[in-house]
Amino acid sequence: MIKVSVFYPSGEGTTFDMDYYCNKHMPMVSSHSGDALKKIEVEQGISGGAPGSKPEYVAVGHLYFESMDDFQSQFVPHLPIFGADVPNYTNAAPVIQISEVKM
């Protein structure tokens, strides 16, 4: 299983529209990725590691694909569409990590 994680750093002046992200952006990503996309998870940061600290990330999105081939063939071709939508929900520069799920 391949997990694509998109981290949205928090910071002074960072904006993030969680409603838009969950109800418009992620469904759009899902419709373009088809059945290659197995699962979506969205997290909203609420705290850092220390009590009362701010979260490192305002939000994190996780997309799961069965294989790297599925990710590359069904998701990657639509990156310009996905990227063009980012300003509709945040001013944060996303950080992307692709992982192989081991457990």
CATH number for the domain spanning 38: value is 3.30.70.100
Of all residues in the chain, the percent with pLDDT exceeding 90 is 100
Pairing of strands 37-44, 57-65: antiparallel
Of all residues in the chain, the percent with pLDDT exceeding 70 is 100
| Separation between Cα atoms, residue 103 and residue 100, nearest integer Å | 9
Contact 1, 98 (CB under 8 A): no
**E strand or H helix at 84, and its extent?**
helix 79-85
Mean pLDDT of 75-92: 97
pLDDT confidence bin for 29, thresholds 50/70/90:
very high
Mean pLDDT of 30-47: 97
- Strands of the sheet containing 95-100, edge to edge, are 37-44, 57-65, 2-9, 95-100
pLDDT confidence bin for 9, thresholds 50/70/90:
very high
pLDDT confidence bin for 25, thresholds 50/70/90:
very high
- Residue in the structure block whose two tokens are 């928090």: 10
For the whole model, what pTM was predicted? Answer: 0.94
Q: Residue 40 belongs to what domain range? A: 2-100
Number of domains in the chain: 1
Beta bridge partners of 43: 60
Maximum pairwise Cα distance, the chain: 42
